[in-house]
């Protein structure tokens, strides 16, 4: 009896240790669609459009790595060398690209490091449980059986991936003249974005962590695919308990701000740049 008790105790300890030390690594590919004709570029030749799309490739196609354990994760973009000829004239959105993101799903804590015009910020967001609607729909992603879940997500005012020219899309009234202001957010005189977008997630209970790429979490399994507006994020590789374990600690670098404060800083800088650009145009005329 004593030996059985000792065996069960050791088994319980080993199981608890394995649970505590469980960790993994997932690689995601992100791709955002972009319709040049929507932005009034129909007069450009196909060759010109192709050159512009090549310059935008680094912005529209990205690779990320998610390091995770039972309760927390780090999500970071893979650094890329500039493509040949992609220096001058290549498209850069320094204020809009994601930095390293930290999530703790147990404490509901979300931190993100960003750099904007040479200044480092640490954005801290309250992370509420996402309101997913579960579905019985299934599909296979690699070696994993995945289940579908959906939710409506509010867009950020600088979510460039879902921006579009004003007056386009399905948000018009019955006379097909004015956009429905209850469904869209005005960004500039020419640009708008929907206030909400449909997000579809595919998660696998075979990896029992309530985590996923970027801001997405809250499902009974690792999220392997996200379809959000014009962007698809797909997991291409999963490694459980890799030999090289990455320490997952809360981020600390940068001036601590809320998302609202960070967006206000970016907006102010953009307005300053717009006024500077207008001043130069008036000077030339």
Q: Give the pLDDT confidence of 90-121 residue by residue, as tens digits.
A: 444 444 556 899 999 999 999 999 988 888 99
What is the distance between the alpha carbons of residues 266 and 259, in angstroms, rounded to a whole number? Answer: 11
DSSP labels, 66-88 = EEEESSEEEEEEPP-PPPTT-ST
Check: CB of residue 157 under 8 Å from CB of residue 96. Answer: no
Cross-strand pairs, 201: 149, 226
The H-assigned helical ranges of the chain are: 2-21, 46-60, 259-284
Domain residue ranges of the chain, discontinuous segments joined by + = 22-280
Structure tokens at 174: 């019955």
Over residues 39-50, the mean pLDDT reads 63
Pairing of strands 72-77, 109-116: unpaired
- Decide if 217 contacts 210 (C-beta within 8 A): yes
Q: What is the mean pLDDT of the chain?
A: 78
Give the confidence band of 36 by pLDDT, cuts at 50, 70, 90.
low
So what's the pLDDT on residue 24?
96
Per-residue pLDDT band at 176 (split at 50, 70, 90): very low
Alpha-carbon span 231 to 153, nearest angstrom:
13
- Cβ contacts of 275 within 8 Å, gap of 6 or more: none
- For the chain, how far is it from start to end, CA to CA, in angstroms? 95
Q: Determine the number of helices (DSSP H) and then strands (DSSP E) in the chain.
A: 3, 15
Closest CA to 53 of 67, 39, 66: 39
Residue whose entry in the numeric block shows the structure tokens 């972009």: 34
pTM for the whole structure: 0.77
- Per-residue pLDDT band for 278 (boundaries 50, 70, 90) equals confident
| pLDDT for the residue numbered 189 | 63
- Which range has the top average pLDDT, 9-18, 215-224, 254-263? 215-224
């Amino acid at each position: 009896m004593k030996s059985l008790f000792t065996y069960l105790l050791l088994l319980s300890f080993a199981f608890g240790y394995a649970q505590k030390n469980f960790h993994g690594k997932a690689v995601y590919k992100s791709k955002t669609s972009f319709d040049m004709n929507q932005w009034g570029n129909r007069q450009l030749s196909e060759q010109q459009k192709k050159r512009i799309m090549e310059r935008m490739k680094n912005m529209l196609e990205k690779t990320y790595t998610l390091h995770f354990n039972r309760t927390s994760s780090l999500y970071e973009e893979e650094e890329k060398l500039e493509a040949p000829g992609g220096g001058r004239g290549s498209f850069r959105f320094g204020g809009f690209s994601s930095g390293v993101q930290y999530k703790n799903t147990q404490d509901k804590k979300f931190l993100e490091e960003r750099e904007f015009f040479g200044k480092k910020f640490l954005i801290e967001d309250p992370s509420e449980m996402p309101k997913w609607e579960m579905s019985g729909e299934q599909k296979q992603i690699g070696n994993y059986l995945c289940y579908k879940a959906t939710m409506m997500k509010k867009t950020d005012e600088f979510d460039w991936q879902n921006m579009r020219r004003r007056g386009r899309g399905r948000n018009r009234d019955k006379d097909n003249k004015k956009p429905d202001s209850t469904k869209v957010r005005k960004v500039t005189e020419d640009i708008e974005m929907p206030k909400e977008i449909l997000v579809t997630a595919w998660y696998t209970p075979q990896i029992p962590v309530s985590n996923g790429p970027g801001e997405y979490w809250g499902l009974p399994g690792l999220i392997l695919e996200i379809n959000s507006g014009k962007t698809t994020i797909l997991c291409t590789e999963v490694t459980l308990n890799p030999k090289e374990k990455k320490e997952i600690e809360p981020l600390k670098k940068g001036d601590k701000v809320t998302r609202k404060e960070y967006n206000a800083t970016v907006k102010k800088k953009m307005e300053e740049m717009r006024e500077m650009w207008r001043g130069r145009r008036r000077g030339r005329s």
